[in-house]
């Protein structure tokens, strides 16, 4: 089973009628069975209602993650998505977290503390700040942290650092989406460990076909002479590990 670890049901906050059906069309073309879906860059309640509606329409294809912004009533929204919806995953983004005050770690800590108490088990966080990620993942060992873009979007020279954090910290995982330096994947997967890397697309802005091809190519010889992915390794990255984290296997 191929699982996309992060599909946006918007494009930087823009949503249009038929977008969800476009996602399904892309999934069918790429051979993706299921996707973790969410919405960001809009008010928390609106984003979660959008996600819930899509998951009710395609329950066999979509797995919901919640979303909150610190400028909203995030406490009430966390209670709604956990107690009313029963969701166990949460998406946070530094572009929104920074509006919660000058200390982004304190803002994130407050949200994650309540989320963990309410039953959130997985947090997918875009926060390209190694000291902050090191602190937060250490202080919340009960949370599974998944770092999009191999943890280092826009700071690709830092990839090894995030990979080694994932290797050395039990509760830290990475995802492959929207990595421009995808030609470093062969080395990066070795640094992190195959079991710490999960496939994701960061659609609907990024193409599932393209993002999947970045992993598919590692089943062939590479000019960097890194080992080609075995079937077992490919299956773990493309869905096996994510299925385990989501409780699907």
pLDDT at 249 over 90: no
Residue 83 belongs to domain spanning: 3-246
pTM of the entire predicted model: 0.97
| Burial class of 142 by CB neighbour count within 10 A (0 to 12, 13 to 18, 19+) | exposed
Rounded to the nearest 10 degrees, the angle between the axes of helix 130-139 and helix 159-168 is: 10
**pLDDT score recorded for residue 223:** 85
Domain count, the chain: 1
**pLDDT score recorded for residue 12:** 95
Across the chain, which distance is largest between two alpha carbons, in Å? Answer: 51
92-121 residue pLDDT tens: 999 999 999 999 999 999 999 999 999 999
35-84 residue pLDDT tens: 999 999 999 999 999 999 999 999 999 999 999 999 999 999 999 999 99
The enclosing domain of 71 has a CATH number of 3.20.20.140
């Amino acid at each position: 089973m191929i699982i996309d670890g992060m599909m946006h049901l918007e494009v930087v906050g823009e949503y249009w009628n038929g977008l969800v059906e476009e996602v399904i069309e892309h999934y069918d073309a790429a051979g993706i069975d299921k996707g973790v879906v969410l919405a960001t860059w809009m008010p928390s309640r609106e984003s979660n209602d959008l996600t819930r509606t899509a998951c009710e329409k395609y329950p066999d294809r979509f797995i919901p993650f919640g979303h909150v912004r610190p400028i909203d009533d995030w406490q009430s929204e966390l209670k709604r998505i956990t107690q009313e919806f029963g969701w166990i995953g949460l998406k946070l983004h530094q572009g929104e977290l920074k509006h919660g005050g000058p200390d982004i770690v304190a803002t994130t800590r407050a949200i994650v503390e309540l989320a963990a108490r309410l039953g959130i088990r997985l947090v997918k966080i875009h926060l390209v700040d190694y000291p902050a990620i090191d602190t937060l993942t250490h202080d919340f060992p009960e949370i599974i942290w998944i770092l999009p873009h191999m943890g280092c979007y826009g700071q690709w020279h830092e990839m090894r650092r995030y990979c080694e954090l994932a290797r050395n910290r039990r509760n830290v995982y990475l995802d492959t989406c929207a990595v421009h330096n995808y030609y470093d994947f062969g080395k990066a997967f070795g640094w992190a460990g195959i079991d710490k890397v999960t496939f994701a697309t960061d659609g609907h802005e990024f193409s599932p076909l393209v993002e999947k091809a970045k992993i598919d190519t590692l089943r062939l010889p590479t000019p960097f002479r890194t080992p080609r992915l075995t079937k077992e390794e490919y299956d773990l990255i493309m869905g096996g590990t994510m299925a385990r984290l989501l409780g699907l296997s």
